[in-house]
């Protein structure tokens, strides 16, 4: 369609919209976990048992909550974009494995898997020119 052919020149705007949208949602999703304190972090960090890590659950829970919250912020501004995306991929992989371990199947794990795929693609694409990391 001719009207849609010109949208290619707005790639950086599309990346900005994607970064801001995902970043806001991760902050909204992660901040309550971060604010939950050590008790909440311990429960969240217990999820690492799905990969055989059963030590320091409070630390792992804090890391997951911080990754979602601060990773969301880093996505928005486009700072340390690729490292933040890698950490978010790892968090989404653990989330998907937790869903599988609970018996939720692919239906339950699909959202985390989809987000991991998006972050993997963004690692290759980069943050775009409307970012602190712009090249």
pLDDT score for 91: 97
pLDDT score for 6: 81
pLDDT score for 1: 66
46 Cβ contact partners less than 8 Å away, ≥ 6 residues apart = 57, 61
Residue by residue, pLDDT tens for the chain (135 residues) are 677 778 878 899 999 999 999 999 999 999 999 999 999 999 999 999 988 899 999 999 999 999 999 999 999 999 999 999 999 999 999 999 999 999 999 999 999 999 999 999 999 999 999 999 876
Query: How would DSSP label each residue in 38-96?
Result: HHHHHHHHGGGGGGT--S-HHHHHHHHHHHHHHHHHHHHHTSSHHHHHHHHHHHHHHHH
Contact 72, 33 (CB under 8 A): no
- Residue 81: name the closest of 72, 90, 91 by CA: 72
pLDDT score for 128: 92
């Amino acid at each position: 369609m001719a009207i849609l052919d010109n949208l290619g020149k707005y790639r950086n705007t599309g990346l900005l919209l994607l970064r801001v949208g995902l970043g806001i949602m991760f902050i909204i999703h992660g901040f309550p976990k971060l604010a939950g304190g050590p008790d909440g972090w311990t429960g969240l960090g217990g999820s690492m048992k799905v990969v055989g890590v059963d030590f320091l659950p409070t630390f792992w829970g804090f890391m997951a909550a911080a990754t979602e919250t601060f990773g969301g912020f880093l996505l928005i501004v486009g700072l340390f974009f690729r490292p933040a995306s890698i950490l978010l991929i790892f968090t989404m992989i653990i989330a998907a494995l937790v869903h599988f371990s609970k018996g939720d199947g692919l239906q339950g794990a699909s959202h985390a898997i989809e987000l991991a795929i998006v972050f993997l693609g963004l690692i290759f694409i980069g943050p775009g020119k409307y970012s602190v990391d712009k090249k």
